Amino acid sequence: MSTATLHPSQESAATRVVQTLLRSRELAIVIVLALILVVATTRRSSFVFSADGWRDTLLAPSILLLLAVGQMVVVVTRNVDLSVGSTLGITAYATGKIFVSNPETSVLVVFAAGLALGAVVGALNGLLVTVFKVPALVITLGTMYVLRGALTHEVGSDRMTAGDYPAHFEKLGNQQVLTIPVLTIIALVVVALVGYYLHTARGGRELYAIGSDPDAADLYGLPSGRRVLGAFVLCGALAGLAGVFSAARYATAFSGTGSGIELQAVAAVVIGGVAIFGGSGTVWGAAIGAFLLVTINRALPILGISEFWQGAVVGALIIGSIVLDRVLSIRRTHKLVEARDHA
């Protein structure tokens, strides 16, 4: 008890940053992502080095980026949100409804509406999970179907087409500032803000604490319910924003918009090194995971891999990253045990 188990590092700040980076789980996926980009670009330089290729490389992941960040915040608390695809579909369609009733509506209003609508869905999920203490997997599986059913009931066989979205909104789906697509810039700002909050803020750290041991967090007096609710609200709001993104990019929405994308969001989070049982992982990891997932799907045809194998490749990637996590965690445990025995 008397000997301090922790003492300040004697290495310089720069060395520590480099060492943390080298040891980080994120580095592995960055390397895979870089490899894919390099190989695809060698095969076809236009994959990155053409106006359309450059734009698509950055723009295509923007929707999944938002979903992955939201999902990561929920997963880190040892929960999951499967309803994000339905939320995305609802806001993508609602965006069209808003524009049909008034084509002059400002883009900012639509963004705010998407965020608010998504936050309401997130709050509903969060309340159900925290009040009734039912596993989020079951609750959000339920809300996923309820919301999709409600959307299909409301929309029927109607569909928003390019004619329903005004030109200024459709342009946004494609607009670039210094060759960087606007949607990507917004998504990256979200990644940075949420990542910074989770890394440094008290509330963010508490999310990790709740995820690694919910009972201990309760005993310690952390406001678990409030924090988990907050995580769901954020996840829902970002899914809502992703719906607006989807409408801007694809200029269409119908009752099936976004179905299945919730699993991609979970996959991105897992590939990004976020533990599915909560308590560890980073927003950066989830973001890179989303980037990797989308880029792989774009690159495989160029690498000459039949599209029927694309699902298999993504599956292998998920299994591979889980195995990697397991190996790393066993090694870490060994090291910690060794350190304890030597002390």
Partner 1 sequence: MRINSKRFAAGAALALVASLGLAACGSDDNGSGGGDGGDITVTFLPKNLGNPYFDTSDAGGEKAVKEFGGTYDEVGPDTAGPDAQVSFIDTAAAQGIKGLVVSANDPTALCDSLDAARDAGTKVVTFDSDTDAECRDLFINQATSEGIAKVQVDMIAEQIGDAGEIAILSAAANATNQNAWIKLMEEELKSHPDIKLVDTVYGDDDDQTSFDKTAALLADHPNLKGIISPTTVGISAAARYLSTSKSKGKVFLTGLGTPNQMRDYVKDGTVKEFALWNPADLGYLAAYATKALVDGDITGAEGDKFTAGDLGEFTVGENGSVLLGDPYRFNAENIDDFDF
**Which residues, in sequence order, are bridge partners of residue 154?**
none
Using the minimum distance from each CB to partner 1, give the nearer residue, 208 or 250.
250
Q: Give the footprint of partner 1 on residues 307-326 (CB under 8 A).
A: 307-308
**Which residues, in sequence order, are bridge partners of residue 160?**
253
**Residue 266 burial class via C-beta count within 10 angstroms: exposed 0-12, middle 13-18, buried 19 and up:** buried
User: Can you give the C-alpha Rg of the chain in angstroms?
Assistant: 21
Binding mask 146-175 for partner 1 (x = CB under 8 A): --xx--x--xxxxx-xxx---------xx-
Q: Give the footprint of partner 1 on residues 58-97 (CB under 8 A).
A: 60
Using the minimum distance from each CB to partner 1, give the nearer residue, 159 or 168.
159
Cα 9 from chain centroid (whole Å): 33
Using the minimum distance from each CB to partner 1, give the nearer residue, 85 or 118.
85
DSSP 8-state symbol, 46: G
Least distance CB 63 / partner 1 (angstroms): 8
Tokens 């989303």 belong to residue: 290
Least distance CB 160 / partner 1 (angstroms): 10
Least distance CB 301 / partner 1 (angstroms): 4
Task: Determine the Cα–Cα distance for residues 174 and 259; give it in Å rounded to an integer.
Answer: 23
**Residue 335 burial class via C-beta count within 10 angstroms: exposed 0-12, middle 13-18, buried 19 and up:** exposed
With binding defined as CB under 8 A, does residue 232 bind partner 1? Answer: no
Using the minimum distance from each CB to partner 1, give the nearer residue, 143 or 257.
257
**Residue 8 burial class via C-beta count within 10 angstroms: exposed 0-12, middle 13-18, buried 19 and up:** exposed
The site that binds partner 1 (CB under 8 A) totals a number of residues, namely 39
For partner 1, the binding residue among 25, 47, 99, 232 (CB under 8 A) is 47
Task: Determine the Cα–Cα distance for residues 324 and 24; give it in Å rounded to an integer.
Answer: 12
Task: Determine the Cα–Cα distance for residues 157 and 166; give it in Å rounded to an integer.
Answer: 21
With binding defined as CB under 8 A, does residue 41 bind partner 1? Answer: no
With binding defined as CB under 8 A, does residue 54 bind partner 1? Answer: no
Q: CA distances (Å), 78 to each of 73, 82, 196, 210, 281, in order?
A: 9, 13, 20, 8, 12
For partner 1, the binding residue among 115, 251, 268, 317 (CB under 8 A) is 251
With binding defined as CB under 8 A, does residue 255 bind partner 1? Answer: yes
For partner 1, the binding residue among 37, 56, 97, 212 (CB under 8 A) is 56
With binding defined as CB under 8 A, does residue 259 bind partner 1? Answer: yes
Residues that bind partner 1 (CB under 8 A): 44, 46-47, 50-53, 56, 60, 148-149, 152, 155-159, 161-163, 173-174, 246, 249-252, 254-257, 259, 261, 297-298, 301-302, 307-308
